[in-house]
Structure 1
Amino acid sequence: MSFKFERLIIWQKSMDFGEEIHSLSDTFPQKEIYNLTSQIKRAGDSIALNIAEGSILQSNAEFKKFLGYSIRSLAEVVTCLYKAERRNYCDREKFNKLYNDSFNLMNQIIAFRNQLKN
């Protein structure tokens, strides 16, 4: 691996999580393609993208800012999951699994951010 972010567990987990979100959204109805499907895919991808982008910055303060963007994207995914469940695009079991994955990933990103020195 040649990039620093590739060694980060939070980046690896966010990559896997983004793929799970992508797969789920592929099952949404066609009428959601430009709405909920697009929104949840972009938010799911943004988690890892912001970790990667922030990791190449010179200062930890800037990296922390991008980790904050990742956390916000994760919160957006959770809200989209609630929308998907309410619209019956996602069953309760799948929702619970992805919700728990979201919660765990968010806590890991926050813990990592808190370890960075200014």
Structure 2
Amino acid sequence: MHKFENLLFWQKSIALAKHVYTICLEINSDEKYGLISQIKRCTISIPSNIAEGSGRNSNKEFNHFLAIALGSAFELQTQLILVKELNLLAEEKVNTLLNEVSEIQRMIYSFKNNLK
């Protein structure tokens, strides 16, 4: 069992979630139940799956939940690209989020490979 609170990529994914929630306040409320809702769900899924997997009985199970977290990170990346292409947020704000997501993706991927 791993203590998820000590994992840097979990800490960064919590910071990302807070950042995303703050930024989503700036997106037109017409998207509240569409894109914003989906962005928030997949953002929360990243640290949640890291935490859930860390409490599992084996590294194999943890690896599975890390794969889900990684998938959610790629889902978030796709949605943020769409936000940028639709000009729903300033490009520099979206790019900052995309950089954060990319860093988390790399960290999860590296940890997964070392966990095997």
TM-score class normalised by the smaller sequence: over 0.9
- Report the counterpart of residue 18 of structure 1 in structure 2: 17
Paired residue type of 2:11: Q
- Structure 1: stretches of 5+ with no match in the other structure: none
- Report the counterpart of residue 72 of structure 1 in structure 2: 71
Quick one: higher RCO (CA 8 Å, sep 6+), 1 or 2? 2
Paired residue type of 1:103: S
| CA shift for structure 1 position 58 | 0.5
- Report the counterpart of residue 89 of structure 2 in structure 1: 90
| Superposition RMSD in Å | 1.2
1:41-86 deviation line (CA, Å, top 9, x unaligned): 0111100000000000001011001000111101111111111112
SS at 1:90's partner residue? Answer: coil
SS at 1:89's partner residue? Answer: coil
- The 10-residue stretch of structure 1 (46-55 or 73-82) with the greater mean CA deviation from structure 2: 73-82
2:62 is aligned with 1:63: yes
Equivalences, count: 115
Could you state the TM-score of these two structures normalised by the residue count of structure 1?
A: 0.92
- The 10-residue stretch of structure 1 (41-50 or 91-100) with the greater mean CA deviation from structure 2: 91-100
Alignment partners' CA distance in 1, 2:75 and 2:23: 15
Report runs of 4+ in structure 1 exceeding 4 Å deviation: none
Alignment partners' CA distance in 2, 1:22 and 1:74: 15
Identity of aligned residues (%): 39
Alignment partners' CA distance in 1, 2:33 and 2:85: 18
| CA shift for structure 1 position 26 | 1.6
SS at 1:62's partner residue? Answer: helix
- The 10-residue stretch of structure 1 (48-57 or 23-32) with the greater mean CA deviation from structure 2: 23-32
- Report the counterpart of residue 52 of structure 1 in structure 2: 51
